């Protein structure tokens, strides 16, 4: 093995990368991305003292869940939705769908299979209890979402000759090398001031098993390691060739590759297995809510002004169903779920504090590309059954479908995905491309990981959130400073107006955040109504 003496900082970093998610959880929590759900039980509203009307702006999950609960409690409700569809960012694209993005380019989807593509939310953490409860109540079937697959790849074009490495191999090799380094430190009594003699013996024993070290406390190929890392020649049957354990990668080239750093993608609390997804696409959740409230949704309503008085609110909008004519709706209360990136451009009569909060929060950019192939080569050739491969190429990740395993015929990969919050600047480059250029870029980059692209490609589609006129970005991109200055003002009831949506939560970008925000808003509205 190539000699390598890590610094204390490198050693601690390696341990954190491989053995635990505490550091990642701490960082994600500070940005509001890893909070546990505050949902404990279904909401119970007192209901209106008399016939009271609530106007909801936006038929996304936040708006429709508010309408669902308010109607159950006896409120009269109406939803105004700008698009000609419900669901907002909870969207699934299938073969035959067509969209026009800002700039006039048409996004087409010509998938021939039953594969689909979720441009927005696409997975559900098990600890997002509100989403799980509504899926149960509304009859939305779920299936496992494979977040980590040890057979998937980690890749960097400058590492190992550009050859992708298995997630499990990188993880186990890092674990083995770290175990060897720690065992040597213990054996040479460099850590005597940190552990007792009894603890030292127990720790050495544990490190030997944890890292699959040999009797000399070294991380080397062996039958024991083959049973953990895998085999270059798998255990035979009959007179087949004898098994041969796989050879671990030496520590120095593994560190220099940077691949072990990609293991952090699996360490976040929000991505702890098990995760789930709705059967058939994320829009199953939006459709379930819509079935409950569709009669109160008016599509094609572009809100232009929100005005308040002491006893009510008036919303002005352009009605696409009436040739764009100007219409108005009045109500006792208004719940606005319009993304802040759009709301900041609408005339809103509210406090100065809320106005500043609406204007203060930027929206993250994000892009996705999906490609359809003639066969499931990732399963048939590479034995990757679901999960995600990561790369430092600008496509960032390739996600494999969690349905239709080992079937014949075409299938769809999510062939590229990233957000501007991930510490890279790829998203703006993808946003500047045309839809066809994005497909071509994902193809050209992805073939470095899966050369089968060349023979199997059929068609593709894409989505960039900064070119969506009804969202102008993917989700509210909070910082700690912004939360300190504006979060409370954004979420408080302002006379007859209250905002809701993922941007009014500490779980931005997730459906759970949208639901929790909505439930909290209607609970406070109901309390205000009954205290009046």
Per-residue pLDDT tens digits for 367-401: 999 999 999 999 999 999 999 999 999 999 999 99
| Structural contact between residues 503 and 339, judged by C-beta atoms closer than 8 angstroms | yes
Same domain, residue pair 435 and 521: no
- Round to whole Å and give the CA distance between 411 and 502: 31
Q: Does 345 reside within a domain? A: yes
Q: Tell me, what's the pLDDT at 28?
A: 39
Segment 130-154, tens digit of pLDDT: 999 999 999 999 999 999 999 999 9
| Structural contact between residues 108 and 471, judged by C-beta atoms closer than 8 angstroms | no
Same domain, residue pair 429 and 452: yes
Same domain, residue pair 344 and 325: yes
Look up residue 455 and give its DSSP letter: H
Cα Dmax for the chain: 87
Same domain, residue pair 353 and 492: yes
Same domain, residue pair 230 and 314: no
Same domain, residue pair 71 and 219: no
Same domain, residue pair 484 and 356: yes
pTM of model > 0.85: yes
Give the domain CATH number at 119. 3.90.660.10
Q: How far is CA 121 from the centre of its chain?
A: 6
- The total of structural domains in the chain comes to 3
Q: Does 237 reside within a domain? A: yes
Same domain, residue pair 355 and 491: yes
**What proportion of the chain, given as a percentage, has pLDDT over 70?**
91
What is the rounded end-to-end Cα distance, in angstroms, of the chain? 75
Q: How confident is the model at residue 50 (pLDDT cuts 50, 70, 90)?
A: confident
Q: Tell me, what's the pLDDT at 497?
A: 98
Phi and psi at residue 398, in whole multiples of 5°? -125, 120
∠ CA 217-221-225, nearest 5°, is: 80
**Nearest alpha-carbon partner for 169 in 183, 147, 153, 185:** 153
Same domain, residue pair 452 and 379: yes
Q: Does 305 reside within a domain? A: yes
Same domain, residue pair 450 and 495: no
**Picking from 259-263, 324-328, 335-339, which range would have the lowest pLDDT averaged per residue?**
259-263
Mapped onto helix, strand or coil, the DSSP state of residue 416 is strand
β-pair partners for 121? none
Give the domain CATH number at 239. 1.20.1440.240
Segment 233-287, tens digit of pLDDT: 999 999 899 999 999 999 999 999 999 889 988 888 889 899 999 999 999 999 9
| Domain end among 420, 438, 467 | 467
Only one residue has tokens 């008399």, namely: 50
Q: Does 156 reside within a domain? A: no
Same domain, residue pair 212 and 124: no
Mean pLDDT over all residues of the chain? 91
Q: What is the CA radius of gyration of the chain?
A: 26
Q: Tell me, what's the pLDDT at 292?
A: 98
**Both tokens assigned to 495:** 């006379």
| Structural contact between residues 177 and 280, judged by C-beta atoms closer than 8 angstroms | no
Q: How confident is the model at residue 35 (pLDDT cuts 50, 70, 90)?
A: low
Same domain, residue pair 352 and 489: yes
Q: Tell me, what's the pLDDT at 17?
A: 53
pLDDT value at 1 more than 60: no
Q: Does 410 reside within a domain? A: yes
Q: Tell me, what's the pLDDT at 18?
A: 55
Which alpha helices (DSSP H) does 400-446 contain, by range?
Answer: 426-431, 435-446
Q: Does 396 reside within a domain? A: yes
**Both tokens assigned to 492:** 């408080």
Q: Does 42 reside within a domain? A: no
Look up residue 139 and give its DSSP letter: T
Q: How confident is the model at residue 492 (pLDDT cuts 50, 70, 90)?
A: very high
Q: Tell me, what's the pLDDT at 252?
A: 93
Cα distances (angstroms) measured from residue 156 to each of 163, 285, 384 = 8, 36, 18
**Nearest alpha-carbon partner for 464 in 124, 110, 115, 103:** 103
**Nearest alpha-carbon partner for 243 in 271, 223, 261, 257:** 223
Q: Tell me, what's the pLDDT at 305?
A: 98
**Picking from 188-202, 321-335, 348-362, 514-528, which range would have the lowest pLDDT averaged per residue?**
188-202
| Domain end among 421, 438, 467 | 467
Q: Tell me, what's the pLDDT at 23?
A: 40
| Structural contact between residues 409 and 380, judged by C-beta atoms closer than 8 angstroms | no
Which secondary structure element, helix H or strand E, spans residue 399, and what is its range?
strand 397-400
Could you list the residue range(s) of the whole structural domain that residue 59 is in? 53-88+283-360+477-531
pLDDT value at 20 more than 50: no
Give the domain CATH number at 60. 3.50.50.60
Q: Does 45 reside within a domain? A: no
190: Cα within 13 Å, side-chain hemisphere: 9
């Amino acid at each position: 093995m190539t000699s390598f003496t890590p610094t204390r900082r490198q050693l601690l970093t390696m341990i954190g990368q491989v053995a635990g998610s505490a550091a990642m959880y701490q960082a994600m929590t500070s940005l509001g991305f890893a909070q546990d759900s505050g949902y404990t039980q279904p909401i119970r509203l007192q209901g209106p003292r008399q016939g009271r009307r609530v106007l909801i702006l936006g038929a996304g999950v936040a708006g429709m869940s508010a309408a669902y609960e308010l109607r159950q409690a006896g409120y009269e409700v109406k939803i105004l939705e700008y698009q000609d569809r419900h669901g907002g960012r909870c969207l699934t694209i299938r073969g035959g769908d067509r969209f026009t993005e800002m700039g006039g380019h048409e996004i087409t989807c010509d998938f021939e299979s039953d594969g689909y593509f979720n441009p927005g939310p696409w997975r559900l953490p098990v600890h997002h209890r509100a989403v799980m409860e509504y899926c149960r109540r509304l009859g939305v079937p779920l299936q496992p979402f494979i977040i980590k697959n040890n057979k998937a790849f980690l890749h960097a074009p400058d590492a190992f000759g550009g050859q992708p490495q298995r997630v499990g191999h990188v993880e186990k090799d890092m674990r083995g090398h770290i175990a060897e380094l720690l065992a040597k430190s213990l054996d040479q009594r460099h850590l005597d001031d940190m552990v007792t003699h009894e603890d030292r013996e127990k720790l050495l024993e544990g490190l030997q098993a944890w890292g699959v070290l040999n009797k000399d406390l070294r991380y080397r190929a062996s039958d024991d390691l083959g049973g953990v890392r895998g085999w270059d020649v798998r255990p035979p049957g009959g007179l087949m060739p004898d098994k041969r354990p796989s050879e671990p990668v030496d520590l120095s080239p593994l560190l220099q590759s940077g691949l072990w750093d990609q293991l952090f993608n699996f360490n976040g609390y929000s991505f702890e297995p098990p995760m789930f997804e709705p059967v058939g696409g994320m829009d199953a959740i939006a459709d379930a809510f819509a079935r409950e409230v569709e009669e109160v949704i008016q599509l094609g309503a572009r809100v232009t002004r929100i005005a308040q008085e002491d006893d009510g609110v008036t919303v002005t909008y352009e009605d696409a169903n009436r040739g764009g004519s100007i219409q108005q709706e009045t109500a006792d209360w208004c719940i606005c779920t319009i993304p802040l990136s759009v709301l900041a451009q609408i005339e809103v009569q509210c406090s100065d504090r809320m106005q500043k909060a609406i204007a203060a929060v930027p929206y993250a950019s994000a892009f996705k590309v999906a490609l359809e192939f003639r066969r499931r080569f990732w399963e048939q050739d590479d034995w990757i059954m679901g999960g995600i491969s990561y790369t430092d190429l600008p496509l960032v990740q390739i996600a494999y479908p969690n349905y239709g395993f080992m079937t014949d015929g075409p299938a769809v990969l999510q062939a590229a995905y990233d957000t501007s919050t991930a510490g890279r600047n790829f998203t703006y480059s993808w946003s500047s491309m045309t839809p066809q250029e994005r497909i071509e870029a994902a193809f050209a980059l992805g073939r470095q990981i899966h050369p089968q692209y060349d023979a199997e490609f059929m068609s593709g589609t894409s989505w960039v959130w900064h070119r969506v006129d009804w969202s102008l970005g993917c989700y509210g991109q909070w910082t700690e400073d912004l939360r300190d200055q504006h979060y409370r003002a954004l979420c408080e009831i302002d006379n007859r107006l209250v905002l809701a949506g993922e941007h009014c939560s500490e779980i931005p970008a997730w459906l759970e955040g949208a639901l929790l925000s909505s439930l909290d808003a209607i609970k406070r509205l109901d309390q205000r109504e009954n205290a009046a």
